Amino acid sequence: MATTETADVATAAAEAVPQEVAVPAPPARGITIKPWVWAVVAVALVFPLLKSLVPDVVSDYRLFVISTMMIAGIAVLGLNLLTGFNGQISLGHGAFYAVGAYTAAVLMDKVMWPDFLGGGTFPYWLAVIIAAIVCFGVGYLFGLPALKLEGHYLALATFALALAVPQFLKYKWLEGLTGGVQGIVLLKPQPPCLDHFFSSSPTMCLPLSEDQWLYYYVLIVMIALYFIAFNILRGRNGRAMMAIRDHHMAADTMGINSSQYKTVTFGISAAYTGVAGALSASAIAFVAPDSFGFFLSITLLIGLVVGGVASLAGSIIGGVFTVIVQNSAQALSNFAKNDLGLPFDLSAYAVYGILLLILMYVMPLGIAGGIIMAWRRLKR
Min dist. Cβ of residue 354 to another protein (A): 6
Instruction: Return the number of the residue (119 or 145) whose C-beta is nearest another protein.
Output: 145
Instruction: Return the number of the residue (259 or 347) whose C-beta is nearest another protein.
Output: 347
Instruction: Return the number of the residue (7 or 133) whose C-beta is nearest another protein.
Output: 7
**C-alpha span between 19 and 78 (Å, rounded):** 24
**C-alpha span between 349 and 372 (Å, rounded):** 27
**C-alpha span between 231 and 4 (Å, rounded):** 33
Judge whether 181 and 170 are in contact, CB under 8 Å. Answer: yes
Footprint on this chain of another protein (rule: CB under 8 A) = 2-3, 6-11, 83, 89, 91, 145, 148-149, 151-153, 155-157, 159-161, 163-164, 167-168, 170-173, 249, 294, 298, 301, 305, 309, 344-347, 349-350, 352-357, 360-361, 364
Run of H or E including 96 = helix 93-110
What is the CB-side half-sphere exposure of residue 252 using CA atoms within 13 A?
7
First to last CA, the chain: 24
Backbone angles phi, psi at 310, to 5 degrees: 60, 45
Gyration radius of the chain's alpha carbons = 22
Min dist. Cβ of residue 95 to another protein (A): 10
Count of beta carbons in the 10 Å neighbourhood of residue 317: 21
Min dist. Cβ of residue 80 to another protein (A): 12
Instruction: Return the number of the residue (141 or 284) whose C-beta is nearest another protein.
Output: 141
Instruction: Return the number of the residue (48 or 364) whose C-beta is nearest another protein.
Output: 364
Run of H or E including 220 = helix 210-234
Residue whose C-alpha is closest to residue 161's, from 270, 85, 63, 71:
270
Min dist. Cβ of residue 37 to another protein (A): 29
User: Max CA-CA distance within the chain?
Assistant: 71
For 2, residues 6+ apart whose C-beta sits below 8 A from its C-beta are 361
Instruction: Return the number of the residue (83 or 258) whose C-beta is nearest another protein.
Output: 83
**C-alpha span between 106 and 284 (Å, rounded):** 15
Instruction: Return the number of the residue (101 or 346) whose C-beta is nearest another protein.
Output: 346
Min dist. Cβ of residue 64 to another protein (A): 27
Min dist. Cβ of residue 27 to another protein (A): 32
Residue whose C-alpha is closest to residue 226's, from 47, 16, 73:
73
Backbone angles phi, psi at 279, to 5 degrees: -65, -40
Min dist. Cβ of residue 150 to another protein (A): 8
Residue whose C-alpha is closest to residue 107's, from 139, 73, 136, 131:
131
Instruction: Return the number of the residue (49 or 148) whose C-beta is nearest another protein.
Output: 148
Judge whether 199 and 211 are in contact, CB under 8 Å. Answer: no
Instruction: Return the number of the residue (156 or 313) whose C-beta is nearest another protein.
Output: 156
Judge whether 274 and 97 are in contact, CB under 8 Å. Answer: yes
Min dist. Cβ of residue 171 to another protein (A): 7
Q: Is the dihedral of CA 363, 16, 153, 241 positive or negative?
A: negative
Instruction: Return the number of the residue (125 or 294) whose C-beta is nearest another protein.
Output: 294
Min dist. Cβ of residue 163 to another protein (A): 5
